[in-house]
């Protein structure tokens, strides 16, 4: 999980090597700190997605003790992109939030990230509302359908 988390931080936060205040961000320190504490139980969770015995993606959900949970730290390794794994991971995080009594799920993102369509992974053509229901996955014989979550 450490390698996958490090890849996520380098890809997601790499543009922030110098933040808006010019102070800079130490990516290696952020990697060493590990996932945010609010993604740990009891009110958060970080899932690891495996495909054919290999770590393939991760995603977290926090604020499970509120009506609106928040998905955070979503990442699918480049090898597994486009196969539906991200959609399945989002669907599982959504299910967990619903099981915990949340009424909605919000996707946390940063303005410097490229918007992506939840259903296709391709660049989005319009901004989505800040709080949405996550679509359920479709079946298929690809990496997304072979994934297991831990």
Distance separating alpha carbons of residues 65 and 52, to the nearest angstrom: 33
pLDDT band at 109 (very low <50, low <70, confident <90, very high): confident
The CATH fold of domain 37-141: Aminopeptidase (3.40.630)
Residue count of the chain, please give it: 150
* Predicted confidence (pLDDT) at residue 96 exceeds the cutoff of 90: yes
Between 14 and 47, the more confident residue is: 47
| Cα end-to-end distance, the chain, whole Å | 11
Distance separating alpha carbons of residues 14 and 75, to the nearest angstrom: 14
CB 120 within 8 Å of CB 63: no
Residue with tokens 């003790």: 65
pLDDT band at 141 (very low <50, low <70, confident <90, very high): very low
The domains of the chain are located at 37-141
């Amino acid at each position: 999980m450490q390698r996958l988390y490090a890849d996520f931080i380098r890809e997601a936060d790499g543009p922030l090597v110098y933040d808006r205040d010019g102070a800079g961000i130490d990516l290696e320190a952020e990697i060493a700190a590990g996932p945010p504490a609010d993604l740990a139980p009891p009110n958060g969770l970080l899932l690891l997605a495996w495909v054919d015995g290999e770590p393939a993606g991760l995603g977290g959900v926090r604020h499970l003790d509120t009506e609106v949970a928040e998905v955070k730290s979503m990442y699918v390794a480049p090898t597994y992109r486009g196969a539906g794994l991200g959609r399945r991971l989002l669907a599982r995080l959504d299910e967990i939030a619903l099981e915990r009594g949340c009424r909605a799920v919000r996707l946390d993102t940063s303005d410097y990230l490229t918007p992506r369509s939840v259903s296709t992974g391709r660049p989005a053509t319009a901004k989505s509302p800040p709080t949405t229901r996550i679509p359920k996955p479709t079946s298929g014989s690809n990496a997304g359908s072979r994934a297991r979550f831990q």
